[in-house]
Structure formats: structure tokens, C-alpha cells
Amino acid sequence: MKKKMMIGIPTKDHPDYIRFYLSEILPEAEKEKIDVWIYDSSSDDATQEIVGKKAKRYANLFYKRLPKNIPYWKKLRYIFVESGYDYVWLCGDGIVICLDRCMDIIREEISKNRDLIVFDNAGRARDIEMHDIVSLAENCLETMGVYGHYIIRGNLFTVEEWEYFERKYPDWMHIGPCFEKLATEKINAVCVKCNFYKPNYYKKNATWVTGGRVFDVMENWIKAIKSLPDLYNPMKQMFIDRYISHYTTTDFLWLWRMDGNLDYSIALRHIRLVYGLGYRGKKYCCIVVFISLCPKIIADLLCTIYGSKLFMYK
Amino acid sequence: MEKNKRLCGLFFVIILIMLFVLKEMVNCLFKAKDTIEAEAVHVGSLDRYYNLFEHWIEVKNRGSNAADYFRKNNFKEIAVYGMGRPGCLLCNELKDASDVKVKYAIDKNISARKHIVDLRKLTDDVIPVDAVVVTPVTAFDSIKAELEKKFDCPVISLESVIYDL
């Protein structure tokens, strides 16, 4: 591949994830001349040691140590702004990309000078070229919310722009800036149907779930969507409703109750969000409040039987 | 009056039966929960071995094998803990390596003296080796703690070997 591409993996205290991830992707990445960067804010040196060992064998592996208290979305600056590559691929350490499955497609699409290549492994029957940002948002915004689902031009943002976006889209820096910046340009994007990843077996629970931040993240999603430029106005409510309704089905509410993401004080703190669920009827709001008061042992039982616990807590 | 008494008795018996059924149903639900969770752990363990073996095959397709890890780390004589499928595969893979030797295997449950390689029990005297490889990867932490009491050499997981290749 003539154009230089990098895979950027932000991580924190997940040495097992990184060991598995690197062992899966490095041989293929080396063959394809793709650089792999690890942005690590761990509280110990285990990840650094693993990367150091691998780096002796693979010259395309690089490591950057970051302060341990840096928020995860602040790490994205190093990938999107400071990398200096033609194309950047932000990947989470919990989803392993299978380069052998998708490199032919990536090479072909990069040769067409795409600004953005989105991977979608569900729902769509075929690849779709997109030159209109609104239609791109309509089709791909939620898909792009998951780390790893897109490759983007590496020179899209300036340092000043990024600082502005950091204030505007905390938690959602991998979505907001792309859609705000690309709205000002004529875009050359494609959404390809491609089963490009497999789960990292070592992945346990996401920190936004174990840290009791589920409702905060939902609030931030609402803020991020509302902060998008006006041309997305017709779709904003749809994005909010779809996201919130996905994580607030009764199955999930029992799970949030069981793991400490939902109690009466949290329900009160996020009352606007809970009340916003009124589009499902007021009865639904009563269910949220009822679940928030239920004993955790009952919640644990129900979320296990419903399957939501096994889905989120693999 | 007599009829009312009998009705009350019947009502009481029905309530008792309903309470008993309810209690059994709740017990049943909690048992179902335990079963689901146990199965999930089992599936998780199979998944872990599936990934390990998948990666092992990929490594072999690239022309590498487990002996490369031991060469790289200068482990010439090793012991293998656990002679289930992964342990046997590892011993067979290292059989032809000229510079890495499986000196013996350790297994709690096999009574034979030899199975691919010499077998020893954890209670037997320690014969020094350069490293011990633990093949039951899902129980690595507890086995490592046990082995470290007896062995001075590094105790490593089979996953470390395969994922480092």
C-alpha cells in the first residue's frame, strides 16, 4: 500500500487484551506495511512490557505512554491530529480487527482517495458510496459510534479545531468532530459491508458499565447529538431515541439495577432522561422507577434469565 | 357454621399449597440462574481454548512453532503441567525440536508413568527445569501459585507461549 496507514489502539490496564490483539494483527499488519500504535495510560508497566517484547520482533509496532488519569477520549488527539499518517484507523482493544478479511477492500477504497471508509457488518446488503454528509450520517453515524468501524483521512483536523471539539464532544470524540468537520467539505466516503472483526476473548466489562456511568454516557450522547451542526437537525431525535431505547429495554434496566448503574438517586439525577423515555408512554417511566427500587438479588436473577447479563458481561 | 369452618380450612390448605408452589418456583428460578451462569463460564472456557488453538494453527501456517518461544527465551529444558489435549499437543510439537526438550510432564490425574513424555506428580521431588508451562489455561493463576511454592524457575501459561509467537 503506497499511502501510509496506522492502527491506533488506546488502552488502559488491559495487558491481556493487548497481548491477544497484537498476536492477532501484527503479522498481517507487517505484511501490509501498516503501523500499529498503542496509546497506554495504565497504572502499571504490564502493557508496556508486552509491547516492548513484540516491538523487538515487529518494527511496525510503536508505543506511547500517557498519564494514567487522562480520559480515554483525550487520547484520540494523538491518533486523529498528531499521527502524521495518510489514513488512521482508531480501534478499541476489545474488538480485534481481522486484516486478512478486509485488506483487499481497504486497498481498493484507499486507491479511490476516500475521506472515510466505514465498515458495517450488519443490515446492509451491499457497499454504498456517499458524497452527501447527511445521508452518511443517516446510514452510518451509529455504526461509527463503536471503535474500529471506520478509517479516516489522517490530516482532517488541525490542533485548534480539535481543542474546540474536545470542549464540545467529550466522550464522543470519535463521532462529533468527524461529522462537524466533514459537513464543511465535499466528501468522498463509502460504507462497505464487511465482517472485519472478531471479539477480543479477553474483553471483560466495559469501564463505562462497571464504573456506573451508563446514564452519564447516555446523557453525553444526547448532548453530543444536540451539539452537531444544524444540517443534522431532522435526524437528531431519531439518533437519540434509537440509542437510548437500545440501552433502556427492560432487560437492560434489570442489568443496570444489578450492577449499580441504576438506583433511585441515579434515576432522580437523570430524571430528564428517564422522563424523556416518555415517548414509550408514562407507564414505562414508572417501570424505570420501580426497577430502580427493586432489590438487587431480584435484578440479578432477572437479568441473568433475560440474557442481558450474559450479553454485556461475557 | 360448620360449613364456614370447612371452607376456611380448605382456603388455608390452598394458601399453603400456593405458598409451597411459589417457594419451589422461586427456588427453580434461582437454580436456573445458577445453571445459566455455570454454562456461561463453561462456554467462556471453551471459547478461550478455541481462540488459543485457532491462533496456534495460524502460527503454524506462518511456519513458526512453539519451540521458537522457548529458543527466544533460552529455555532448553521445560516441564509441562497438565496432560489434557493442550498439554499433549505441546509435547508432540516439541518432540522433534533439537534444542528444546520436555523433560517431564506433571499431572494430578494420570497414574501411568509415561504418556508421550515421563510423567510425575506434583507431590514427587522437584527435578529442576528452565520453565514450567501450564496448559490448563483457565486455572492458570491458582496453579501458578501452587507451582511457585515448589519451583524456582518461571511458571508460564500456554497462552503466553502461543500469543508471544
Tell me the chain B residues in contact with residue A300 when contact means C-beta distances shorter than 8 Å. 33
Please tell me whether residue B112 adopts helix, strand or coil conformation.
coil
Whole-structure pTM over 0.90, yes or no? no
Q: How confident is the model at residue B81 (pLDDT cuts 50, 70, 90)?
A: very high
Residue B55 near residue A22, CB atoms below 8 Å: no
Is residue A262 a contact partner of residue A250, using CB atoms and an 8 Å limit? no
Residues across chain A: 314
Distance CA A116, CA A130 (A): 10
Query: A35 pLDDT band (50/70/90 cuts)?
Result: very high
Is residue A314's pLDDT more than 80? Answer: no
Q: Name the average pLDDT for chain A.
A: 85
Contact B55 A24 (CB under 8 A): yes
Mean pLDDT of A155-167: 87
Strands of the sheet with A5-11, listed across from one edge? A61-65, A34-40, A5-11, A87-90, A150-153, A116-120, A189-193, A128-130
**Residue indicated by cell numbers 494483527:** A25
pLDDT tens track for A68-92:
888 888 888 898 888 889 999 999 8
CB contact burial B105-132 (16+ within 10 A = b; e otherwise): bbbeebeeeeebbebbeeeeeeeebbbb
Chain B residues with at least one Cβ partner in A under 8 Å: 29-30, 32-33, 36-37, 40, 44, 47-48, 51, 55, 58, 62, 160, 162-165
Q: Is the ipTM of this complex over 0.90?
A: no
Instruction: Using the predicted structure, report yes or no on whether residue A131 has a pLDDT greater than 90.
Output: no
DSSP B113: S
Q: CA A127, CA A163: separation in Å to the nearest integer?
A: 34
- The chain B residue lying nearest A20, using CA atoms, is B163
Is the confidence at residue A61, as pLDDT, over 90? yes
Query: Which pLDDT tens digit goes with each residue over B20-42?
Result: 999 998 899 889 989 998 998 89
Tell me what the pLDDT averaged over chain B comes to: 87
Backbone φ and ψ for A288, nearest 5 degrees, come out as -60, -50
Say whether A201 and B47 touch across the interface (CB within 8 A): yes
A301 in contact with B, Cβ within 8 Å? yes
Q: Classify A153 as helix, strand or coil.
A: strand
The pLDDT tens digits for A244-301 are 888 888 888 899 999 888 888 888 888 777 776 656 667 778 888 889 899 999 999 9
* Other residues' Cβ atoms within 10 Å of the Cβ of residue B24: 10
Q: What is the mean pLDDT of residues A94-120?
A: 87
Alpha helices in B62-157 (DSSP H): 66-72, 85-94, 140-148
How far apart CA A127 and CA A120 sit, in angstroms, is 9
Q: State pLDDT tens for residues A182-237.
A: 888 788 888 888 778 887 878 777 777 888 888 888 888 888 888 888 888 888 88
Give the residue-averaged pLDDT of B75-92: 90
A-chain residues within 8 Å CB-CB of B71?
A: none
pLDDT at A279: 60
C-alpha cell, A86:
495518510
Q: How far is CA A86 from CA A6, A7, A89, A229, in A?
A: 8, 11, 10, 26
